Amino acid sequence: MLFYIVDDDKTVRAMLAQIIEDEDLGEVAGEAEDGSLLDQQMLTLKHIDILFMDLLMPIRDGIKTIRQIKPLFKGKIIMISQVESKELISEAYLLGVEYFIIKPINRIEVLTVIRKVIERIQLEKSIQDIQKSLNTVLKLDNRQVMMEKSSGEKHIRTSSHFLLSELGIATESGSKDLLDMLDYLYQYEQDKTFTQGFPSLKEVFVHLAQNRLGQSAAEAELTREIKASKQRVRRAIYESLNHLASLGLTDYLNPKFENYASKFFDFATVRKKMTELDNDSTCSTSTSRIDTKKFIQILYFEAKRIYLESQ
Protein backbone atom coordinates (compact mmCIF):
# COMPACT_ATOMS: atom_id res chain seq x y z
CA MET A 1 0.00 0.00 0.00
CA LEU A 2 1.16 3.53 -0.79
CA PHE A 3 0.42 6.23 1.79
CA TYR A 4 0.51 10.04 1.69
CA ILE A 5 0.39 12.17 4.86
CA VAL A 6 -0.89 15.76 5.02
CA ASP A 7 -0.52 17.43 8.44
CA ASP A 8 0.95 20.73 9.60
CA ASP A 9 2.51 18.98 12.61
CA LYS A 10 5.87 17.45 11.68
CA THR A 11 5.76 15.21 14.75
CA VAL A 12 2.42 13.70 13.73
CA ARG A 13 3.70 13.02 10.22
CA ALA A 14 6.78 11.32 11.64
CA MET A 15 4.71 9.20 14.06
CA LEU A 16 2.35 8.00 11.34
CA ALA A 17 5.23 7.19 8.99
CA GLN A 18 7.02 5.29 11.77
CA ILE A 19 3.92 3.21 12.57
CA ILE A 20 3.41 2.35 8.89
CA GLU A 21 7.05 1.36 8.42
CA ASP A 22 7.41 -0.53 11.74
CA GLU A 23 4.36 -2.69 11.01
CA ASP A 24 5.31 -3.20 7.35
CA LEU A 25 1.92 -1.86 6.21
CA GLY A 26 3.27 -0.21 3.11
CA GLU A 27 5.34 2.77 2.01
CA VAL A 28 4.91 6.48 2.70
CA ALA A 29 5.19 7.94 -0.80
CA GLY A 30 5.05 11.57 0.26
CA GLU A 31 4.18 14.18 2.88
CA ALA A 32 2.85 17.74 2.93
CA GLU A 33 2.38 20.30 5.70
CA ASP A 34 -0.74 21.90 4.23
CA GLY A 35 -3.66 21.02 1.97
CA SER A 36 -2.66 23.82 -0.42
CA LEU A 37 0.42 21.76 -1.34
CA LEU A 38 -1.67 18.81 -2.46
CA ASP A 39 -3.30 18.19 -5.84
CA GLN A 40 -5.20 15.27 -7.32
CA GLN A 41 -2.86 14.80 -10.28
CA MET A 42 0.12 14.25 -8.01
CA LEU A 43 -1.79 11.68 -5.95
CA THR A 44 -2.78 9.85 -9.14
CA LEU A 45 0.76 9.83 -10.51
CA LYS A 46 2.04 8.41 -7.23
CA HIS A 47 -0.79 5.81 -7.19
CA ILE A 48 -1.68 6.68 -3.59
CA ASP A 49 -3.93 4.10 -1.91
CA ILE A 50 -4.48 5.74 1.49
CA LEU A 51 -4.35 9.46 2.25
CA PHE A 52 -4.02 10.77 5.81
CA MET A 53 -5.56 14.25 5.96
CA ASP A 54 -5.40 16.69 8.87
CA LEU A 55 -8.65 18.58 9.46
CA LEU A 56 -7.28 21.95 10.59
CA MET A 57 -4.34 23.47 8.67
CA PRO A 58 -3.22 27.10 8.34
CA ILE A 59 -3.81 27.76 4.61
CA ARG A 60 -6.27 25.17 3.29
CA ASP A 61 -8.02 22.83 5.72
CA GLY A 62 -8.83 19.18 5.21
CA ILE A 63 -12.48 19.68 4.23
CA LYS A 64 -11.62 22.14 1.44
CA THR A 65 -8.77 19.95 0.25
CA ILE A 66 -10.97 16.86 0.04
CA ARG A 67 -13.58 18.79 -1.92
CA GLN A 68 -10.91 19.71 -4.45
CA ILE A 69 -9.34 16.27 -4.91
CA LYS A 70 -12.31 13.94 -4.29
CA PRO A 71 -13.98 14.08 -7.72
CA LEU A 72 -10.99 12.28 -9.23
CA PHE A 73 -9.03 10.80 -6.31
CA LYS A 74 -10.18 7.19 -5.88
CA GLY A 75 -8.02 6.28 -2.89
CA LYS A 76 -9.21 6.01 0.71
CA ILE A 77 -9.03 8.98 3.07
CA ILE A 78 -8.40 8.84 6.83
CA MET A 79 -8.94 12.18 8.58
CA ILE A 80 -7.01 13.16 11.71
CA SER A 81 -7.78 16.07 14.06
CA GLN A 82 -7.76 17.27 17.64
CA VAL A 83 -11.23 18.75 17.11
CA GLU A 84 -14.22 16.55 18.07
CA SER A 85 -16.95 18.59 16.35
CA LYS A 86 -19.78 16.27 15.28
CA GLU A 87 -20.72 18.72 12.52
CA LEU A 88 -17.23 18.65 11.00
CA ILE A 89 -17.00 14.89 11.44
CA SER A 90 -20.36 14.40 9.70
CA GLU A 91 -19.30 16.68 6.85
CA ALA A 92 -16.06 14.74 6.45
CA TYR A 93 -17.92 11.42 6.28
CA LEU A 94 -20.33 12.83 3.69
CA LEU A 95 -17.33 13.79 1.55
CA GLY A 96 -16.17 10.17 1.55
CA VAL A 97 -13.74 9.97 4.48
CA GLU A 98 -13.39 6.36 5.63
CA TYR A 99 -12.39 6.92 9.27
CA PHE A 100 -11.77 9.76 11.71
CA ILE A 101 -8.82 9.58 14.15
CA ILE A 102 -8.74 12.02 17.08
CA LYS A 103 -5.41 13.46 18.20
CA PRO A 104 -3.23 12.80 20.13
CA ILE A 105 -2.24 9.89 17.93
CA ASN A 106 -2.78 6.48 19.51
CA ARG A 107 -0.67 3.73 17.95
CA ILE A 108 -3.22 0.95 18.50
CA GLU A 109 -6.06 3.02 17.05
CA VAL A 110 -3.99 3.99 14.01
CA LEU A 111 -3.04 0.35 13.37
CA THR A 112 -6.65 -0.80 13.74
CA VAL A 113 -7.95 1.83 11.33
CA ILE A 114 -5.23 1.28 8.72
CA ARG A 115 -5.76 -2.48 8.72
CA LYS A 116 -9.52 -2.05 8.32
CA VAL A 117 -9.04 0.30 5.38
CA ILE A 118 -6.54 -2.09 3.78
CA GLU A 119 -9.04 -4.94 4.20
CA ARG A 120 -11.71 -2.84 2.46
CA ILE A 121 -9.36 -1.99 -0.42
CA GLN A 122 -8.44 -5.65 -0.84
CA LEU A 123 -12.11 -6.68 -0.72
CA GLU A 124 -13.07 -4.14 -3.39
CA LYS A 125 -10.18 -5.30 -5.56
CA SER A 126 -11.27 -8.92 -5.17
CA ILE A 127 -14.81 -8.03 -6.23
CA GLN A 128 -13.48 -6.17 -9.29
CA ASP A 129 -11.25 -9.14 -10.19
CA ILE A 130 -14.21 -11.50 -9.91
CA GLN A 131 -16.28 -9.25 -12.16
CA LYS A 132 -13.49 -9.14 -14.74
CA SER A 133 -13.11 -12.92 -14.62
CA LEU A 134 -16.82 -13.43 -15.10
CA ASN A 135 -16.83 -11.10 -18.09
CA THR A 136 -13.97 -13.10 -19.62
CA VAL A 137 -15.60 -16.48 -18.95
CA LEU A 138 -18.91 -15.36 -20.35
CA LYS A 139 -17.14 -13.77 -23.35
CA LEU A 140 -19.21 -10.63 -23.17
CA ASP A 141 -18.78 -8.64 -26.34
CA ASN A 142 -18.04 -4.91 -26.28
CA ARG A 143 -21.59 -3.98 -27.14
CA GLN A 144 -23.02 -5.93 -24.22
CA VAL A 145 -20.45 -4.48 -21.82
CA MET A 146 -21.31 -0.94 -22.93
CA MET A 147 -25.01 -1.65 -22.48
CA GLU A 148 -24.43 -2.89 -18.95
CA LYS A 149 -22.26 0.09 -18.07
CA SER A 150 -24.91 2.47 -19.37
CA SER A 151 -27.57 0.81 -17.26
CA GLY A 152 -27.14 3.14 -14.31
CA GLU A 153 -30.40 2.09 -12.70
CA LYS A 154 -29.25 -1.50 -12.43
CA HIS A 155 -25.94 -0.50 -10.85
CA ILE A 156 -27.62 1.97 -8.50
CA ARG A 157 -30.05 -0.72 -7.36
CA THR A 158 -27.20 -3.18 -6.83
CA SER A 159 -25.15 -0.75 -4.75
CA SER A 160 -28.33 0.30 -2.92
CA HIS A 161 -29.05 -3.29 -1.97
CA PHE A 162 -25.48 -3.61 -0.70
CA LEU A 163 -25.97 -0.53 1.50
CA LEU A 164 -29.26 -1.85 2.89
CA SER A 165 -27.43 -5.05 3.84
CA GLU A 166 -24.70 -3.02 5.55
CA LEU A 167 -27.41 -1.09 7.43
CA GLY A 168 -29.05 -4.35 8.53
CA ILE A 169 -32.38 -3.82 6.75
CA ALA A 170 -32.09 -5.69 3.44
CA THR A 171 -34.83 -8.11 4.53
CA GLU A 172 -37.17 -5.47 5.96
CA SER A 173 -40.45 -4.93 4.10
CA GLY A 174 -39.53 -1.25 3.67
CA SER A 175 -36.34 -2.15 1.79
CA LYS A 176 -38.34 -2.66 -1.43
CA ASP A 177 -39.82 0.82 -1.03
CA LEU A 178 -36.35 2.29 -0.49
CA LEU A 179 -34.93 0.54 -3.56
CA ASP A 180 -37.81 1.80 -5.69
CA MET A 181 -37.24 5.30 -4.33
CA LEU A 182 -33.59 5.23 -5.37
CA ASP A 183 -34.53 4.06 -8.87
CA TYR A 184 -36.87 7.05 -9.12
CA LEU A 185 -34.26 9.48 -7.76
CA TYR A 186 -31.66 8.23 -10.22
CA GLN A 187 -34.00 8.79 -13.15
CA TYR A 188 -35.05 12.15 -11.67
CA GLU A 189 -31.43 13.27 -11.55
CA GLN A 190 -30.85 12.13 -15.15
CA ASP A 191 -33.89 14.03 -16.40
CA LYS A 192 -33.81 17.19 -14.29
CA THR A 193 -30.54 17.00 -12.32
CA PHE A 194 -31.01 18.49 -8.86
CA THR A 195 -30.86 22.12 -10.01
CA GLN A 196 -34.27 22.73 -8.43
CA GLY A 197 -33.32 20.82 -5.33
CA PHE A 198 -34.04 17.31 -4.11
CA PRO A 199 -37.65 16.24 -4.82
CA SER A 200 -39.99 16.34 -1.83
CA LEU A 201 -40.79 13.14 0.05
CA LYS A 202 -44.44 13.63 -0.87
CA GLU A 203 -43.54 13.62 -4.56
CA VAL A 204 -41.45 10.48 -4.16
CA PHE A 205 -44.14 8.57 -2.24
CA VAL A 206 -46.83 9.64 -4.71
CA HIS A 207 -44.71 8.38 -7.62
CA LEU A 208 -44.18 5.02 -5.88
CA ALA A 209 -47.89 4.61 -5.23
CA GLN A 210 -48.87 5.55 -8.80
CA ASN A 211 -46.22 3.25 -10.24
CA ARG A 212 -47.56 0.31 -8.21
CA LEU A 213 -51.29 0.93 -8.56
CA GLY A 214 -51.37 2.53 -11.99
CA GLN A 215 -52.38 6.01 -13.09
CA SER A 216 -56.04 5.09 -13.01
CA ALA A 217 -56.05 4.14 -9.31
CA ALA A 218 -58.65 5.82 -7.12
CA GLU A 219 -57.57 8.61 -4.79
CA ALA A 220 -58.47 6.55 -1.73
CA GLU A 221 -56.31 3.65 -2.92
CA LEU A 222 -53.37 5.97 -3.55
CA THR A 223 -53.74 7.51 -0.10
CA ARG A 224 -53.74 4.08 1.59
CA GLU A 225 -50.68 2.94 -0.38
CA ILE A 226 -48.77 6.15 0.37
CA LYS A 227 -49.52 5.82 4.09
CA ALA A 228 -48.50 2.13 4.13
CA SER A 229 -45.30 2.89 2.22
CA LYS A 230 -44.35 5.67 4.65
CA GLN A 231 -44.88 3.32 7.59
CA ARG A 232 -42.77 0.57 6.03
CA VAL A 233 -39.94 3.02 5.28
CA ARG A 234 -39.95 4.52 8.77
CA ARG A 235 -39.92 1.06 10.37
CA ALA A 236 -36.96 0.10 8.21
CA ILE A 237 -35.09 3.29 9.17
CA TYR A 238 -35.78 2.70 12.88
CA GLU A 239 -34.49 -0.86 12.48
CA SER A 240 -31.32 0.49 10.86
CA LEU A 241 -30.82 2.85 13.79
CA ASN A 242 -31.30 -0.06 16.18
CA HIS A 243 -28.86 -2.22 14.19
CA LEU A 244 -26.10 0.39 14.07
CA ALA A 245 -26.53 1.31 17.74
CA SER A 246 -26.21 -2.38 18.64
CA LEU A 247 -22.97 -2.63 16.64
CA GLY A 248 -21.56 0.47 18.32
CA LEU A 249 -22.52 -0.79 21.75
CA THR A 250 -20.68 -4.04 21.14
CA ASP A 251 -17.63 -2.47 19.47
CA TYR A 252 -17.27 1.30 19.15
CA LEU A 253 -14.63 0.74 16.45
CA ASN A 254 -16.87 -1.52 14.40
CA PRO A 255 -16.30 -0.33 10.79
CA LYS A 256 -20.00 -0.35 9.93
CA PHE A 257 -20.83 1.70 13.01
CA GLU A 258 -18.02 4.17 12.31
CA ASN A 259 -18.82 4.45 8.62
CA TYR A 260 -22.61 4.69 8.68
CA ALA A 261 -23.96 5.80 12.07
CA SER A 262 -22.88 9.45 11.84
CA LYS A 263 -23.77 9.63 8.14
CA PHE A 264 -27.34 8.44 8.34
CA PHE A 265 -28.36 9.62 11.80
CA ASP A 266 -27.86 12.53 14.15
CA PHE A 267 -25.13 11.73 16.68
CA ALA A 268 -27.40 12.48 19.64
CA THR A 269 -30.04 10.09 18.29
CA VAL A 270 -27.51 7.26 17.97
CA ARG A 271 -26.17 7.87 21.47
CA LYS A 272 -29.71 7.87 22.88
CA LYS A 273 -30.50 4.56 21.20
CA MET A 274 -27.22 3.05 22.46
CA THR A 275 -28.12 4.15 25.99
CA GLU A 276 -31.58 2.60 25.67
CA LEU A 277 -30.11 -0.68 24.48
CA ASP A 278 -27.44 -0.64 27.19
CA ASN A 279 -30.13 -0.13 29.84
CA ASP A 280 -32.37 -2.71 28.20
CA SER A 281 -34.96 0.03 27.84
CA THR A 282 -38.47 -0.94 26.83
CA CYS A 283 -39.09 2.52 25.34
CA SER A 284 -40.75 2.48 21.95
CA THR A 285 -38.54 3.23 18.98
CA SER A 286 -40.96 6.00 18.10
CA THR A 287 -39.33 8.13 20.82
CA SER A 288 -36.18 8.33 18.69
CA ARG A 289 -36.20 11.28 16.33
CA ILE A 290 -35.17 10.46 12.78
CA ASP A 291 -34.99 12.49 9.60
CA THR A 292 -36.52 10.33 6.86
CA LYS A 293 -35.60 12.67 4.02
CA LYS A 294 -31.97 12.96 5.18
CA PHE A 295 -31.72 9.17 5.42
CA ILE A 296 -33.04 8.70 1.87
CA GLN A 297 -30.82 11.45 0.45
CA ILE A 298 -27.69 10.00 2.01
CA LEU A 299 -28.69 6.48 0.96
CA TYR A 300 -28.99 7.69 -2.63
CA PHE A 301 -25.71 9.62 -2.72
CA GLU A 302 -23.83 6.79 -0.98
CA ALA A 303 -25.23 4.25 -3.44
CA LYS A 304 -24.25 6.50 -6.32
CA ARG A 305 -20.75 6.98 -4.88
CA ILE A 306 -20.23 3.22 -4.55
CA TYR A 307 -21.43 2.74 -8.13
CA LEU A 308 -19.09 5.42 -9.52
CA GLU A 309 -16.10 4.09 -7.55
CA SER A 310 -16.70 0.60 -8.96
CA GLN A 311 -16.23 1.84 -12.54
- Residue 49: pLDDT above 90? yes
| Model pLDDT, residue 154 | 56
Cβ atoms of 267 and 90 within 8 Å: the answer is: yes
One domain for residues 93 and 180: no
Cβ atoms of 36 and 27 within 8 Å: the answer is: no
| Model pLDDT, residue 127 | 82
CA distance 297 to 292: 9
Per-residue pLDDT band at 285 (split at 50, 70, 90)? very low
Residue among 86, 97, 152, 77 nearest 307 (CA):
152
| Model pLDDT, residue 266 | 86
| Model pLDDT, residue 286 | 46
One domain for residues 99 and 210: no
Choosing from 102, 121, 140, the residue where a domain stops is 121
- Tell which wins on pLDDT, 305 or 27: 27
Residue among 17, 62, 9 nearest 38 (CA):
62
Give the pLDDT confidence of 65-95 residue by residue, as tens digits.
Answer: 998 888 788 899 999 988 777 777 778 888 8
Per-residue pLDDT band at 215 (split at 50, 70, 90)? confident
Could you tell me the CATH number of the domain that includes residue 37?
Answer: 3.40.50.2300
One domain for residues 108 and 235: no
Residues of the chain with pLDDT > 90: what percent?
41
Number of domains composing the chain: 2
| Model pLDDT, residue 33 | 94
- Residue 45: pLDDT above 70? yes
Residue 126 resides in a domain: no
**Mean pLDDT across the chain:** 85
Residue 144 resides in a domain: no
Residue range of the domain that includes 211 = 152-309
One domain for residues 77 and 170: no
CA distance 70 to 64: 10
Write down the pTM of the prediction: 0.52
| Model pLDDT, residue 140 | 52
The alpha carbon of residue 26 and the mean position of all alpha carbons in its chain are separated, in whole angstroms, by 25
One domain for residues 87 and 224: no
- Residue 282: pLDDT above 70? no
One domain for residues 172 and 80: no
